[in-house]
Amino acid sequence: MRRRSGLTAVNSPLFILQTLDRHLNHPVELTLYGRAALALGFPSHEPRHETTQDVDAIIPLAQLAQLRADEQFWSARDTTNAELAARGLYLTHLFTEEDVFLLPDWLNRRLPIPGSFTHLKLLRPATLDLVLTKMMRGADPEDLSDIEFLLRHERVSEADLRAAFERLRFADIQELHDAFRAAQPRVLALVKRQGHLPPSS
């Protein structure tokens, strides 16, 4: 927690996952994305990333059957959501990798998220994969702002991005395809603009 203007500010994704960890009784691996991945996976994250009210995760296909059968995990998830409901916080969408826009080799390029948890092992997709997931809602202003943050953190060339567009494994939903295509020129413009700025420290 940090203090801002005399008030205690809570890193909401961290608080959610600490609560989940407390209700677990065995090791569980989660791959975070969305703003929770930004708030916990990047030391230079912005304060607004800590205010997201939920935590989203991607379930690798290799992990799917095991997690589906893990009744204690789902019980801990439900208990966590019930405990945090009054605060408006919750562990929400758990998507399979087939439901999220990612590169084919995304699983091998994940990065660990450090933290003092008893049972949880947290990871995040590589920065380029996070950019792609942020394009699933089209040119959403908040997502574009997050993409701009990611591009400041790690320089991505226009060539890298265009190659990623070609290699991307699409979720099988036409609406998402259309939204992604609508976002492409906006994101390419952000990459070009970042190319004229000095690297972020």
Query: 169 burial class (0-12, 13-18, 19+ CB within 10 angstroms)?
Result: middle
Which pLDDT band, with edges at 50, 70 and 90, does 195 fall under? low
Q: What's the whole-model pTM score? A: 0.88
Mean pLDDT of 159-165: 93
Distance CA 113, CA 38 (A): 10
Q: What is the 3-class SS of the chain, one letter each residue?
A: CEEECCEEECCHHHHHHHHHHHHCCCCEEEEEECHHHHHHHCCCCCHHHHHCCEEEEEECHHHHHHHHCCHHHHHHHHHHHHHHHHHCCEEEEEEEHHHCCECCCHHHHCEEECCCCCCEEEEECCHHHHHHHCCCCCCCHHHHHHHHHHHHHCCCCHHHHHHHHHHCECCCCHHHHHHHHHHHHHHHHHHHHHCCCCCCC
Q: Which residues are 28's β-sheet partners?
A: 120
Confidence at residue 4, expressed as pLDDT on a 0 to 100 scale: 39
Strands 90-96 and 54-59, how do they pair? parallel
Question: Does residue 8 carry a pLDDT above 60?
Answer: no
Q: Cβ neighbours of residue 91 under 8 Å, at least 6 residues apart?
A: 16, 17, 20, 54, 55, 57, 77, 80, 81
Q: How many CA atoms lie within 13 A of 166 on its CB side?
A: 6
* Distance separating alpha carbons of residues 22 and 2, to the nearest angstrom: 21
**What pLDDT, on the 0 to 100 scale, is given for residue 9?**
64
For the stretch 10-47, pLDDT in tens is 899 999 999 999 999 999 999 999 999 999 999 889 99
Q: What would the two tokens of residue 86 be?
A: 């009054």
Q: Residue 73's pLDDT band (boundaries 50, 70, 90)?
A: very high
Asked if 109 and 129 touch (Cβ cutoff 8 Å), the reply is: yes
Strand partners, 4: 7
Q: Which of 9-13, 126-130, 192-196 is least confident?
A: 192-196
Residue 178 has pLDDT above 80, yes or no: yes
For residue 124, name the pLDDT band (cuts at 50, 70, 90).
very high
- The whole-chain average pLDDT of the chain stands at 89
- With a cut of 60, say whether residue 112 has pLDDT above it: yes
